[in-house]
Every structure is written in C-alpha cells, then in structure tokens.
Amino acid sequence: MIKKITAVFLIFNFSFTIVSKADEGMWLPLLLKQLNESDMQRNGLKLSAEDIYSINKSSLKDAIVQFNGGCTAEVISDKGLILTNHHCGYGQIQAHSSVQNDLLTNGFWAMNQSEELVNAGVTATFIVRMEDVTSKVLAGITDQMGDAERDKKINEAIVQIQKEAVTGTRYAAFIRPFYYGNEYYMFITETFTDVRLVGAPPSSIGKFGGDTDNWIWPRHTGDFSIFRIYANKNNEPANYSADNIPYKPKYVIPISMKGVESGDFTMVYGFPGRTTEYLSSYAVNMIMNQSDPDKVKIRNTRLQIMDQAMKGSDAIRIQYAAKYAGIANYWKKWQGEINGLKKLDAISKKEQFEKSFLLNVNASNDARNKYGNLFTDFEKKYKELSILNKQRDYYYEAILGVEAISYTSSFYDVIEGLYAGKKINDYEKEIDKLKSNMKVFFKYFNASTDEKIAIALLKMYSEDINKKDQPEIFSIIEKKYHGDFSKYAQEIYAKSIFVSEDKMNKLFQNFGRNYKKISKDPMYKLMQSCYSKFLKDIKPQYTALDVDVTKLNRAYMKGMRELITDKKYYPDANSTLRVAYGKVNGYFPRDGVFYDYYTTLEGLIEKENPLVDEFMVSPKLKELYLKKDYGKYADKNGELRVAFCASNHTTGGNSGSPVLNGEGQLIGTNFDRDWEGTMSDIMYDPNQVRNIVLDVRYTLFVIDKYAGAGYLLNEMQIAN
Ligand code: ARG
Ligand code: GLU
C-alpha cells in the first residue's frame, strides 16, 4: 500500500521537488553529520562535518559571527579581525561621516589599531553550541490541548530551559521553533560589544553599481568592510574601554588565493534571516498577488521623494543614505520575487503538490482524520487573512512610512499612561530613553522631505483602504480639509513639536509639565488615531488569524514529513546558524542569454559612467587598472576577478557570510542574490537561483593596493 501511494505521488510530482537537490537547503550545522556529510563530500567537500561544527574541538563555527543582529561576519585573524559587507557596516560608516569628513564617499582605513573607530552598540555574537530541545519543550504537550494552554506551557518550558542552560555563565541562550513548532532548538551565544571599524572602501568601490545593480548579476560591487572585536584582559566580552585588547578567537578562517572555477564546491556558513518554503498555494497567492505589489507601490512613492531630496542636498544625502538603501533593498527584492514566482508558475506548482499530498492523505483513515481538511481550512483562513494583511501592510508601510508618525508613536505608551493617571516617576527610564533617541532621530530626519512623504502616503492610504477600515482622523481630514492632504500636512508639520528638535528639547526641559499639551499636538493626534486603530482592530484580529494559520502550517509540515518520506526537509531560515552548499555556476537568465560565473575589473571599468554617482570609478582604481597592477591577486590569465556566483541557497542575513571551498578556506564573502532567483525565499529553482559573492582576492587587492593597508594582511592566514 505504501509503495503504491509513493508511486501515485511521484507521478504528480514530476517537476516539483520540495527539497534536496545538492544546492537547495539551509542546514543545521549540528545535523550535518547525519543528513549531509556524505552528500557534501560527494560534491567536493574535503572536511568532515566535525570540522564544520563541533562541541569537542575548535571548528569553523567558532569563526562565524552574527554581526549586529542582522548580518554575518567571519573571523580572519587571530587578533579578532572580522570581515563583513560594506552594506552591513554602512550604518557605522555613515555614523562617523559628516559633510567635512565623508567616510561614505572617501572610505576609511585605520593605519594602526589606535586609529580604529569605536562604535556604540554594535554587537558580534558567536554560537557556543546548539541543542535539540524538542522533547524538553514539548514534554507534556498533547494534541487535545487548547492553543492557549499549549502556548503557555511551551513558553514556560522555554524560559526554564534557557535559564538552566546559562545560569552562572557569561553566555545567553535562546530557543526557537523549527518546522512551524514541530521541533525546537536551543542556541547558546556569546556576544561581544566592543567592535571597532578598521576599514571600508569608498562607496565607489563598496557600493559600486548602487541600487541600480542591487540584486543583479553580473555584479562589480566591492561590498566589504572590516571590523575588529575587542575583549577584556580575560578575552571575555566587555563594553568599550581603552584597556580592551583584540579578541583572541578560537578559530581563524584561512584565506585561499586559488580562486574558484565553474563546477567547484562551495559552502556558505551564516545566519539566514527568514524563508517560507513550505507555504500553501493560498499563502503564495496572497504574497505574490497582493502583499508584495502593495508594498512595492508604497515604497516606490517614498523612494522617489527621498531620491529627489537627496539629489538636491549633500547634507540630506548623508542623512538619508542608510535609510534609503534599506527601503530600496526590499522594494526591489519584492519585485524580483513577484517575477520569479510568476515565471516558476509557483501557484500551480504548489497546487499540484497539494493534490498529490491529498492523495497520500486519503490513502489512510488516520491521515485523513489528521490532514483531510487542511486545504479547505487554509483557503478559508487566507480569505480572512488577506483583508487584514492588507490593512497591516498599509499600516506598516504607508502610515509608519511617514517618519514623524512612527517617531511620535514611540511616545504613545508614556503619554497615554500619564493621561490615564500614572505618575511621571513611573516612567523615568522610558523618558530618559526617549530623550536619547531624540538625538538620533533628528540626526537623520529632514522635516520638509518627510512632509512630502506624508502628503503622498496619507493620500494613498485614504484611496486604497476601505473607508470603513480607516482610522477616524481620515474622516476629519475629509471634512475639515476637503481631502486636501497638502493643506493638512502643511498645518501639522508647522504646528507639531515632534518634527522640530528645538521644540522637542523644550519638551524635555520640563517633561512633567510640558507633556500635558501633547494631547493637542496635531501629529500626536494623527498618530494616536492610526495607532489605536491598529492596536484595537488590526493587530488582535491579525494575530488571532496568524495563530490559526501557524497551527495549520504546523500540521501541514508534520504531514509532509510523515507521508512524503523520500525527501530531506531543511527547516525554514529563522536567523539561526546554517550551512548551505552548492556549486560555482553560471546560468541562463532568459532565452538565449547566458551569464558567466565571474566578473572582472575590466567589466567594472566597462560600467564606468562619470555622470552617474553609482557608476563613478575613483582615479586611484582607474590607475591600478590601467597599469594592470594586480600583483598576486590576479587569476591565472592575469585578470582581476571581482565577484562570482554559485548555487548556494541564501537569503537576507547571509550578507557577509564566508563562502568557503572544499578545504574550508575563504574564497569570498556573500553579499547578494541574483534578480532571477529572489523568489528562492519561497521557492528555490536550481536553474535560476545564484548567490553573489565578492572574490576574496579583490578584497585583498583593495586593502593592499588601493588602500595601502597591507599591514592587515600580515595578520591573516593566506594560503597560496
Ligand atoms: N541586496 C543586498 C541585500 O539584500 C544588498 C543590499 C545593500 N545594497 C543596496 N544597494 N541597497 O542586503
Ligand atoms: N544582501 C542580503 C543581506 O543583507 C543577502 C542577499 C540575499 O537576500 O540573498 O543579507
């Protein structure tokens, strides 16, 4: 019987495999031995799983850093030097920049340790170990339990297990659900907080091609920056102190000068953020036909307005650089994702899979009882969810896309609490925090640009969201201003204290007295109307549906693993440490076009355009190019390679991840994905998905020949 089911399944499954070609998947390091080692070795890995992840000896894992929560970095010297992307260190480079001393434009290189720049709040986190804690977390959980009780029990267990794991150590622990809560893993971490900027190329190298080339292969961006981790005398994490010394790592990744060729094995070791590979067709439909297009539309408007302002003023350009890049990044990615899903015919592939899954389900009473209603339930829930999801997207992207509104909302709890009768003393800490946030906010805020954004986005919101679902303030704008959003915005930006640093300073001079006027502030009123609508209506309903959908996903995931057993299932990315592996390889992006697997400085110069910021080449780099002064960084044909692409399955968060050869040596730094492959967060296609990697030889060339900071290379282990 089971055999027969599998046969039926295979017929329906002709083109769609959920998992496990050599290149698809983001695997848990502690399971490599069991799941992947032999496959990896067959594909060219010379190491053992134990060399990659071990709790008994130092291993590659000890050189992998989660950089500032969102990116990855790797340890490349025994003095704590770490390599990540330029776009990962961008916020820090920006923070040290001014119109007079513009490190974004000019780059920065410390010529010795004393010149390194201190960064407030930057973190570097290592994974000490990980552990499967599923049976502990789910102990005593039964299928009969109600959701609330189940969640409560699980959360209590998690808190308890985490606590036990690290009490009396300097480590932290966190537990995350995997496979939609079918499994749980715990991660023990060590976080360093004195991380200094050592070097960054100028944007003309580190951001070459800018947003135009972002998410695009072939690519010529020298997307790297270098930091150094500092520790106290005992090699332990410590906040900045002049007495701190360079961190002595447990493992240093050696660097290969050999480069890579088509077909070579590669692996990526890092912290991919979020993927959703096991969604139902209903979810994919909502994402590709509603959510992605909505968010693209809203950001389009925001970006156009920002772009104009930045082009008109250097000060605004520096102020808005990181913000703009961040907003533009996913704006573009979502567009690629829509295209990719369409081209893959993702919805029908999912539907086909669902049909074949159901055949398996209907083959036994037990499975039918457990999974028989899954897809009708999905359909029903997604109908409801789509409506709320739209309101939620518009709240986050359009309403909070107005920075003054999102800034003002940070005062909501304190102000409402005070109006409700709490004492000012109850909020001492919160008020201090608001005060220090104020400085950061205004450093990166331009009121007149934001006013323009407010006019456009509020108008868009009022047109696209059903009247009955809009916050009350919109009917007031309709009545009092006859829907003239310019007039309304002009008035609130002129009157509100929240858009003026001076006025805000005055507020903080005597908060206890001055807060009383805030209820009349027009920006506060706008925020209050929108935020309370969100809190009272949108969020609770959305959350309830999301809980239901997660439960369905948990059952679906369980069913897949139970009934379709000829596959290896990797868990969706969730910002935990993973290994992806694949091969260096070009691809056919469209009919009749082939993209080769590497790019060169020659190609960078071909893209040069002195009239367009993003494609300017600095005279120094031009000179090195003209002299062909590539030294030992050239490949065997005398070319200087800039980047290469490979079929590793990666996502946001993998930026800065080390890309390693079969010997475990560093061959490059991951920094992007190809346009044709951006749908791989939802559906992977081995023919189209490529990760984009900065060739480490270009990195070393820039440090040495361009920046004259070759002294740093002496710290590294460079294998010729
Ligand atoms: N697309 C890359 C990633 O997702 C790089 C983003 C930074 N670069 C940029 N031009 N905005 O993060
Ligand atoms: N640039 C992305 C990051 O910051 C990586 C590209 C991707 O999403 O694959 O993590």
pLDDT of residue 19: 40
Task: Give which of 194, 236, 206, 234 is closest to 82, Cα–Cα.
Answer: 194
678 CA distance to ligand 2 centroid (A)?
10
85 CA distance to ligand 2 centroid (A)?
10
Query: Environment class of residue 561 by beta-carbon count within 10 Å: exposed (0-12), middle (13-18) or buried (19+)?
Result: middle
Query: What are the residue boundaries of the structural domains of the chain, listed by start?
Result: 2-123+193-265+570-719, 281-561
Task: Give which of 83, 53, 82 is closest to 695, Cα–Cα.
Answer: 83
pLDDT of residue 15: 38
In this predicted model, what pLDDT tens digit does every residue of 557-582 receive, in sequence order? 999 999 999 889 999 999 999 999 99
Residue 102 has phi, psi (to 5 degrees) of -95, 90
In this predicted model, what pLDDT tens digit does every residue of 189-234 receive, in sequence order? 999 999 999 999 999 999 999 999 999 999 999 999 999 999 999 9
Q: Are 328 and 669 in contact (CB under 8 A)?
A: no
**H or E element in which residue 509 lies:** helix 501-509
Partners of 231 in beta bridges: 245
pLDDT of residue 7: 36
**H or E element in which residue 52 lies:** helix 49-52
Q: Evaluate if residue 682 carries a pLDDT over 90.
A: yes
Q: Evaluate if residue 14 carries a pLDDT over 50.
A: no
The encoded tokens of residue 31 equal 């399971």
Ligand with an atom nearest the CA of residue 673: 2
Q: Evaluate if residue 20 carries a pLDDT over 70.
A: no
Alpha helices in 601-712 (DSSP H): 601-607, 619-626, 696-701
Q: 616-636 as b/e, with b when 16 or more CB fall inside 10 Å? A: bbbeebeebbeeeebeebbbe
Q: Evaluate if residue 147 carries a pLDDT over 90.
A: no
- The helix-helix angle for 292-312 and 447-464 (nearest 10°) equals 160
Q: Are 556 and 166 in contact (CB under 8 A)?
A: no
In this predicted model, what pLDDT tens digit does every residue of 84-123 receive, in sequence order? 999 999 999 999 999 999 999 999 999 999 999 999 899 9
38 CA distance to ligand 2 centroid (A)?
28
Mutate to test the pocket of ligand 2, among 211, 578, 654 (most ligand atoms within 8 A of CB): 654
* Residue 22 pLDDT level (bands cut at 50, 70, 90): low
Q: Which atom of ligand 2 is nearest to the CA of 273?
A: 10
Residues contacting residue 575 through CB under 8 Å, at least 6 positions apart = 66, 176, 271, 272, 273, 274, 653
Mean pLDDT of 652-672: 98
pLDDT of residue 4: 35
* CATH T-level fold of 2-123+193-265+570-719: Thrombin, subunit H (2.40.10)
Q: With helix as H, strand as E and coil as C, how does 693-718 read?
A: EEEHHHHHHHHHHHCCCHHHHHHCCE
Mean pLDDT of 388-410: 98
219 CA distance to ligand 1 centroid (A)?
12
Q: Evaluate if residue 720 carries a pLDDT over 90.
A: no
The single-letter code of the amino acid at 31 is L
* Strands 108-109 and 194-200, sheet pairing: antiparallel
Q: Out of 194, 211, 213, 223, which one is annotated catalytic?
A: 223
In this predicted model, what pLDDT tens digit does every residue of 440-492 receive, in sequence order? 999 999 999 999 999 999 999 999 999 999 999 999 999 999 999 999 999 99
Q: Are 146 and 153 in contact (CB under 8 A)?
A: no
Name all residues whose Cβ lies below 6 A of ligand 1: 87, 210-211, 214-215, 325, 328-329, 652, 655, 672
Does 482 qualify as catalytic in the annotation? Answer: no
> Which residue has a Cα nearest atom 3 of ligand 1?
672
My answer on whether omega of the bond before 201 falls inside 30° of 0, hence cis, is no
pLDDT of residue 3: 34
**H or E element in which residue 188 lies:** strand 183-192
> Which residue has a Cα nearest atom 6 of ligand 1?
329
Ligand with an atom nearest the CA of residue 645: 2
pLDDT of residue 566: 87
In this predicted model, what pLDDT tens digit does every residue of 500-549 receive, in sequence order? 999 999 999 999 999 999 999 999 999 999 999 999 999 999 999 999 99
Q: Out of 647, 655, 657, 680, which one is annotated catalytic?
A: 655
Does 223 qualify as catalytic in the annotation? Answer: yes
The single-letter code of the amino acid at 39 is D
The encoded tokens of residue 586 equal 């070009």
Q: Tell me what the pLDDT averaged over the chain comes to.
A: 95
Q: Evaluate if residue 13 carries a pLDDT over 50.
A: no
Does 87 qualify as catalytic in the annotation? Answer: yes
In this predicted model, what pLDDT tens digit does every residue of 279-320 receive, in sequence order? 999 999 999 999 999 999 999 999 999 999 999 999 999 999
Model confidence, pTM = 0.93
Ligand with an atom nearest the CA of residue 329: 1
